[in-house]
Each structure stands twice: as C-alpha cells, then as structure tokens.
Amino acid sequence: MGGPESRRDVGESLNRDGTRNMTNSTQLAVIGGGPGGYAAAFLAADLGMQVTLIDEAADPGGVCLYRGCMPSKALLHVAKVLTEAREARAWGVEFGEPALDLDRLRTWKEGVVGRLTGGLGQLSTQRGVTYLRGRAELLGPTSLRVTRSDDIDGDDEPVDLTFAHAILSTGSRPAVPAALSLDSERVWDSTRALDLPSVPGSLLVVGGGYIGLELGSVYAALGSAVTVVEMTSGLLPGADRDLVSVVARRLDSLCEAVRLETTVVGLADDGDGVRVTLEGAAIDHPEHHFDRVLVAVGRVPNSDIPGLERTAVQRDARGFVVVDGQRRTGEPSLFAVGDLVGEPMLAHKARHEARIAVEAIAGHKAGFEPRAIPAVVFTDPEVAWCGLTETQAKADGRSVQVARFPWAASGRAMTLDRPSGVTKLIIDPESEQILGVGIAGSGAGELIAEGVVATEMGATAADLRLCIHPHPTLSETLMESAEVFFGQSTHVYRPKRARKA
C-alpha cells in the first residue's frame, strides 16, 4: 500500500545497512507547503530549478489554506451576511431570523478549502514540482529523510533526498501557555474553532488579537454570547487606537462583553462547561462559567524541525530561526521564510520572503526590505494598515503629520450605512512622502493595497491627491485624506496650511 504520492517518481537504492530506501537528489528542497513554501517551490520551478516540495498534507496549502486564512475568511463572509441580514431591518427589508444548517455550512467551507488546495496540487504538478507527502528530518546541511504520511500500512520506506539548497517553511502553531492548557474538548484552539464543532451558547475568547477578534466575530454572528478577554489595555495591541476604536465600538454591540486588562489564570472542565478564573483590575468576581473557551493568545514557530541540530541553523530566544536579509540561515545551504523566522506572522510576508530566498538561490540580486507590509484584521468592519503607524512613529520619537478622512464624509460609506470608518495617511512633514496608511471600515483589507503601492513607491500626498479615483467608491477616502493634508478636501473643511515652496 501507499504507492508514491510524489508527482514525479523517485529512485530507489540500497542503504549501507542493506535496507532499501527511496533516494533522490533535487536542486531545491522546500520543507513545508504553506504560502511561503509553495510560493518558493513554484517560483523556483518557474526559474528552471528542479524542486521537491515536502508536506504532510495531501496537497500544498499549509495552515493558511487548511486551518487559517481561507476557512476563517469563508466563515467571516457568512458572518457578514448574517449581520447585514439582521441590519437590513433598518433599511426596510425584513428577512426574519436566519436558520443555520451547521453541517451544510461546514461542508461549504470545507469545499472552499478543498478546491483551493486541490488547485495548488494541480499547479504543483503542472510546474513539474515533485510533491512528497510526509515529514522531513534533516540528516545534515544537504540531505534529508522524508517519512511518508500517505503510508497507511507503515510499510513504505522513507525517502532520502540530497539537495543543493533547502528552504525551511514549517510555519507556526497556536501558543498554549500553561495557565490555558487544559485537555478538554470544551477548550478550543483556532483549528478546532474553524472545524465548527457547535455554536456554543456562551463562548469565552481569550486574546483580543487577530484570531480572537475574527473568530469571536464569527461565533457572535452565528449566535453565541461571546466574551473577549484581553490582557493589555486595548484590543489589537500595537495597532493605532483610532483605527481599533472603529471595530471596538461594533464588537461592543456584537459581543456579550469585552474585558480589557484581564487575564485568565485558571481553566477547569466541570463536565457541563468550563469554569474560568479571571484576574484584572475591573473584575468584580473572578469565577465565570462558559460553554466553550477559545484560546487565541499568539502563535509559536515550528522550529523544532527534526535534525536541525545537525546543521548550523541558529534560533533566537523566542524560537525563531535567525536569517539574514536574503533569508539565509547560519547554514549556507539552508534558507528559512515565513512564520518560522519571525513577526509579522502573515502569509503575504512569507510569500514575499519566499521570492527573495529563491531569487538569492538563483543568484539574483535580492533582499527583503519592504517599506510596507500590510496587516489586515478581517473583522466587520475590517482594520488595515501598512508602513509606519502613528503608534510606531510615537514610539520612535519621529515627527509625522497625520491626515485623517472620516467616512462620515464619504458618500459611498453612507450608501453602505457604514459611516463610522476612517482613512488616514502618515506623512513625512518635510518631504510630504506617505510613510504609512491606516484604514478602518468595510473593505479596508482591499483598500489598503493602494496604500502599500503609494508607500512602497515613495508617493507624496500630492501624488495621491492628483490621482483621479472613481466615484462613488471608498477608494476616494485615500485621495480625500491627501486633500485633507493640504486643507483642501472637498467633503471636509480644514483650515488651510501653507504649501511648501
């Protein structure tokens, strides 16, 4: 059983001890098939390299496609439809209470994932990438062994592979601090929550970061009474407060409670739910009871790659693999990308790093030096930013000018009944260059792409002001923010400022 899943046959040879092993050599081995890994493998194949991609799953995709970005965005789409259907009452349309069919919802979501990962499998085959399904162990700086995960009977020999270069892209997994570690089906991590096991009557979300807010919003829209606890003084720590307050206001009405400066210090399954002990300045009574608990307090890198100790790869105190500007590790033949090498743990950062690493391996001049890595929190409304934030500018003691356009002055936002958003530009007061962009509101995740282009290309506020934006769209809020900078926004009155000579 368990014939080769690889998309190209591998050879077979005798080991020194007489056992028979599948062996092969490849120019580039990529360990981990997430957005960093498959992007690296595909680009390398496009550049003419012979590539082997290794992952335990049936097809490439990684956490993002199987247990992260994609299933969560499918569910967030449903959550938005549910919320808008309820809100439509105010617009004179009555749908009645939505009836949920959890099995069909789950099947639809899994269908989305299946189509996407299947598509990646096809793309991999089309490019002639050898896909080895299994778990890799490094045997040294230029060799590895793959234990097959498609070997149902356990009688397939491992595959040994030698390579000129390898890219490590093994990603990350949810962090589970000791106080939140409880072996109970009532305590979920994000993977479990995305399986949609049930819609609990009450759900405690521990962590007011990306995952807590996105999945908390999904379950609140599906009908759970959601409480979010966040240990710091605000949701989405690190993001600008004026952006966060837009989503925080809506979460206040969507959720049962949002408790800041609150920490979970104990969890116990009482057979009927989870008894939770909270600690924090504003906690009147510490003991609470929830049907389910979702723990979303960050992620840790999967840097415990078997055999890594046989190489010169270094890890930092948090377990991230240390890399240089081309994503090369301390071992010259090994590169690393994505969550494995540090924050921000975002699929698009991994994908860009993959490009840099592959180009470096191909001998091109390449370096990882983005001015603007976009971040998007796909709540409703979305929160997105790129480049320099106001918070960061303040922390760095850097003087910036902020031009803010409130969506209450946007016709398009009004027609969507979403006037509470904001778009802002962070501008260098001397050069008038756009250093960063922040947006909170419907579709902010799409809109921020313009901010990325403007920031990366060193556009000035005048450049953005002079670009004709289509009317009526939310994209006009970017142009109008630039107009605000000059005190000339058509829809916002601001006292005039002197133009630079």
Catalytic residue numbers, as ranges: 471
Q: Which amino acid is at 450?
A: E
State which of residues 78, 221, 247, 297 lies at the interface with ligand NAD (CB under 6 A): 297
Pick 114 or 238: Cβ nearer ligand NAD? 238
Q: What minimum distance in Å lies between the beta carbon of 217 and ligand NAD?
A: 12
φ/ψ region of 424 (left if φ > 0, alpha if ψ in -120 to 50, else beta) reads beta
> Rule CB under 6 A: is residue 208 a binding residue for ligand NAD?
yes
Tokens of 342: 């540090």
Q: What minimum distance in Å lies between the beta carbon of 68 and ligand NAD?
A: 6
State which of residues 128, 237, 325, 429 lies at the interface with ligand NAD (CB under 6 A): 237
- Give the footprint of ligand NAD on residues 159-178 (CB under 6 A): 177
Q: What minimum distance in Å lies between the beta carbon of 340 and ligand NAD?
A: 13
- Nearest residue to ligand NAD, using CB? 209
Strand 292-295 and strand 287-290: the pairing is unpaired
Tokens of 166: 């390898």
Pick 209 or 406: Cβ nearer ligand NAD? 209
CB atoms within 10 A of CB 389: 22
Most distant CA atoms of the chain, gap in Å: 84
- The β-bridge partners of 13 are 21
Q: What minimum distance in Å lies between the beta carbon of 126 and ligand NAD?
A: 28
> Rule CB under 6 A: is residue 376 a binding residue for ligand NAD?
yes
> Rule CB under 6 A: is residue 225 a binding residue for ligand NAD?
no
Q: What minimum distance in Å lies between the beta carbon of 105 and ligand NAD?
A: 20
Question: C-alpha angle with apex 391: 390 to 394, nearest 5 degrees?
Answer: 85
Pick the stretch among 206-214, 404-412, 468-476, 482-490 that binds ligand NAD (CB under 6 A).
Answer: 206-214
> Rule CB under 6 A: is residue 212 a binding residue for ligand NAD?
yes
The residue among 242, 257, 492 whose CA lies nearest residue 385 is 242
- Give the footprint of ligand NAD on residues 21-40 (CB under 6 A): none
CB atoms within 10 A of CB 188: 23
Pick 128 or 344: Cβ nearer ligand NAD? 344
**Residue 163, CA atoms < 13 Å, CB-side half-sphere:** 34
Binding mask 311-350 for ligand NAD (x = CB under 6 A): ---------------------------------xxx----
Pick the stretch among 162-170, 231-239, 401-409, 422-430 that binds ligand NAD (CB under 6 A).
Answer: 231-239
Q: What minimum distance in Å lies between the beta carbon of 370 and ligand NAD?
A: 15
- Give the footprint of ligand NAD on residues 42-101 (CB under 6 A): none
State which of residues 117, 263, 333, 423 lies at the interface with ligand NAD (CB under 6 A): 263
Pick the stretch among 54-62, 112-120, 294-302, 327-335 that binds ligand NAD (CB under 6 A).
Answer: 294-302
Pick the stretch among 50-58, 201-209, 307-315, 328-336 that binds ligand NAD (CB under 6 A).
Answer: 201-209
State which of residues 113, 246, 264, 440 lies at the interface with ligand NAD (CB under 6 A): 264
> Rule CB under 6 A: is residue 120 a binding residue for ligand NAD?
no
The residue among 321, 317, 355 whose CA lies nearest residue 341 is 321
**Alpha carbon distance 329, 166 (integer Å):** 10
Pick the stretch among 21-29, 250-258, 296-304, 436-444 that binds ligand NAD (CB under 6 A).
Answer: 296-304
**Residue 495, CA atoms < 13 Å, CB-side half-sphere:** 0
Query: What burial letters (b/e) apply to 454-479, b meaning 16+ CB within 10 Å?
Result: bbeeebbbeebbeeebeeebbbbbbb
Segments of 15-154 assigned E as strands: 20-31, 51-55, 130-140, 143-148
Distances (CA, A) of 327 to 37, 125, 322, 345: 13, 26, 8, 15
Cβ-Cβ contacts under 8 Å for 409 (sequence gap 6 or more) = 480, 489, 491, 492
- CA dihedral for 320, 324, 325, 328, sign (positive or negative): negative
How many residues bind ligand NAD (CB under 6 A)? The answer is 26
Output phi, psi for 42, to 5 deg: -70, -45
Chain length of the chain: 501
Pick 11 or 344: Cβ nearer ligand NAD? 344
**Alpha carbon distance 235, 242 (integer Å):** 11
> Rule CB under 6 A: is residue 374 a binding residue for ligand NAD?
no
> Rule CB under 6 A: is residue 488 a binding residue for ligand NAD?
no
> Rule CB under 6 A: is residue 378 a binding residue for ligand NAD?
yes
Pick 69 or 361: Cβ nearer ligand NAD? 69
State which of residues 67, 80, 299, 315 lies at the interface with ligand NAD (CB under 6 A): 299
The answer to whether 18 and 11 are in contact (CB under 8 A) is no
Crossing angle of helices 102-126 and 69-87, rounded to 10°: 140
Q: What minimum distance in Å lies between the beta carbon of 178 and ligand NAD?
A: 10
Pick 297 or 403: Cβ nearer ligand NAD? 297
The answer to whether 263 and 277 are in contact (CB under 8 A) is no
Pick 54 or 296: Cβ nearer ligand NAD? 296
**Alpha carbon distance 162, 147 (integer Å):** 15
3-state secondary structure of 173: strand
State which of residues 2, 298, 307, 411 lies at the interface with ligand NAD (CB under 6 A): 298
**Alpha carbon distance 76, 63 (integer Å):** 17
Pick 14 or 265: Cβ nearer ligand NAD? 265
Residues that bind ligand NAD (CB under 6 A): 177, 206-212, 214, 229-232, 237, 263-264, 296-299, 344-346, 376-378
